[in-house]
Amino acid sequence: MEYEDIIQQVIEFLGTFAFAISGIRHAAAKHFDWFGGYVCGIAVAIGGGTIRDVMLGTTPFWMTNPFYMICTALALIFVVIFAKHIEGLRNTWFVFDTLGLALFTIAGIQKSLVFGQPYWVAIIMGCITGSAGGVIRDVLLNNEPVIFQREIYAMAAVLGGITYWLLDYCGITIEVTVIASFVVTCLMRFLAVRYHLSLPILKEES
């Protein structure tokens, strides 16, 4: 297995755990049972990657390795055991959601490049990988999808993808490129929420 493949798998595993926890926490806020929480965790963890793989014409990643299902189960156990501690941490779900967004954006970009897609397609695929799972989660929970809210979400993934592209174009090592893309995506999301940054709102004519 090549070094880049190992990095991609590690990123996908970490992203799965982070996103699964985010989905399970949202389900807990709606007072779902354990199975409902697991379903929401799965939806966030594999939703975006599944759409990406279907568009790339390959077998969805979770169908080739049971680890993703196991990882989501571990996330459920983690939330159940440490529920009281997690509740005591302000905006913990937001942190996990942001980490998952950044990690899955990178994973989506890397897999698209492996399949020979140009960078503009890879950035779009990274955005889909990072944000589509959250849309599925919100639909299941009957919430307004976060990408349609004022806060910056998908655009953070796009900026992280552009960062990845620019650094790779400049010949920067894969390690530095991945870290920089991760930091930009997370930082953009954190700053947007902290300072209430958002894109201009569409206004209908009066």
Per-residue model confidence as pLDDT tens digits over 127-174: 999 999 989 989 999 988 878 876 788 999 999 999 999 999 999 999
Neighbours of 59 (CB within 10 A): 10
Question: How far apart (Å, rounded) are the C-alpha atoms in residues 164 and 182?
Answer: 9
Question: How far apart (Å, rounded) are the C-alpha atoms in residues 28 and 127?
Answer: 26
Q: Identify the CA nearest to 80 among candidates 41, 54, 111.
A: 41
| Verdict on whether the full-model pTM lies above 0.75 | yes
Asked if 42 and 76 touch (Cβ cutoff 8 Å), the reply is: no
Judge residue 146's burial from the number of C-beta atoms within 10 Å of its C-beta, 0-12 exposed, 13-18 middle, 19 or more buried. middle
Q: Identify the CA nearest to 138 among candidates 127, 123, 149, 151.
A: 149
User: What is the pLDDT at residue 193?
Assistant: 86
- With 80 as the cut, is the pLDDT of residue 4 above it? no
Asked if 141 and 68 touch (Cβ cutoff 8 Å), the reply is: no
